[in-house]
Structure 1
Amino acid sequence: MAQRRPGKKSGQRRRPRRRARPAAVEAPPAPEPAPNEPGLPAALQAALVRGLGAIAGNVSGRMAAAGGGVGLQIGKALLLSPEAGRMRREAGRYVRELRELAGLTVDELAEALEVSDHSLLAAVEKGTATLSFELILRLSSLLARNDPVPFIAKLTRTYNPVLWKLLESWGIGRIPLHLERERRFVNVYRARDAARELSDLAFDRVLAFTQAAFELALDLAAREEGISQPEGRKRTPRRRK
């Protein structure tokens, strides 16, 4: 009589081994597109954009309630001036460059902005049409989401001069302008790779020379425009030995 092997039962099938499932690999988060130029923190940018949008809506409502005829006359005079035409053409080139940098056609940008008349954006890029403040905010979210404040400030000065003058009279319109100037000043350093390779001593010499040159140029420009400077900030000439 044949002996059965221990550990095996007659008529019992082997269960197929389950293959271990590979551990789920989490995909790395998609990197955010790097801005062309470093700007403000995202939270501050969003707060400024919301604030400008709320102020613009409030101002427009008050002007309409008070009788917008005067405001429209002033705005039309400003928009028809030769300087305004030059600014519109410059702003149109600026919008076209940003659109091309984003890889969008005029029709694609118009669809993203939900603008039914696609010829409006083409006319804006040629400098023959203007943009409402609402469209400026939409454009900033598409073409300048990494640094929207300078974009909004530039286009608002060009396309909505009445609103911009009112914001300037309140002191609010100067905020994005100052931030834009500070950004441009910092970019002078950031655009020079050689400055990062200097030793601390050499960098201090360059910084001292830059500060002296800036104070001299600022003093000359302030005198030309009749701007009085605080006593502590006036440049004191050095005595020659």
Structure 2
Amino acid sequence: MAIEAGDWARLAQALERFCETLGETTDPAGDGGRRVACLGGAVMLSEAASGVERLLVEFTTRLLREHGGPEASPGVRLAHADNPDGPWEPIEPNGVRLVSIEGGAAEIVTALEAARRAVSFPAAKWNAMQARRPGADHQRFHAGELLHAAGMRGVERALSIAKRLAGSCESDENDGGEYRSASWFREATGEGLYPDLLRNAIHQRRLARARKVGNRWQYPVEEVLRLWPEYSERLQTA
């Protein structure tokens, strides 16, 4: 199921609450980051981070399910090579990929993942705490802990995207000229970009940000221009 405007608004509200809690429980640090001020603040920030992390994982999973596609790993490709006896090629440690995703959805997933890394437990910290107190209810943040500026920028970027999508999903096709209907593209290009061509691009996951309003598809002008640059002059003057 596509992520609706109300869903993005829910994520934006959660990220806003986290940013507000961050401002209330931390002090500015010298490198542009923030440092957790006290024990009580660490508890509040940890609770806020836990809720935001769950939402970020949920939204990333939904985007991958909707826009991602399976991709054969290098091992599978080698197993189906013409000559199964070799010559074998080494597989890099980061060469195995289970899901691929392209277009606008990929940019959104990247932003959400950056925000998730900023608020989630670092693996080394979790492992150390688990070794000392197996099975305990471990706390993400502690007094004096530093939140780096890069991580906070990741959270702010995710918040900006969530707000934009919450608003754009509710707008009509003429809002800002960002989205247009299939009939608009057909008329603007003299039948060049006909409706079936645009719909096929959705099924092929080439138009990741297309949306459905009522019973009609609307398409992002920016992505259409990227896919069919030969129509750029007509679309920009339509």
Shared fold (TM-score, shorter chain, > 0.5): no
- Higher relative contact order, chain-length normalized (CA < 8 Å, sep 6+): 2
Q: TM-score range by the shorter chain?
A: under 0.3
Q: Which has the larger radius of gyration?
A: 1
Give the structure-1-normalised TM-score.
0.26
Structure holding more strand per residue: 2
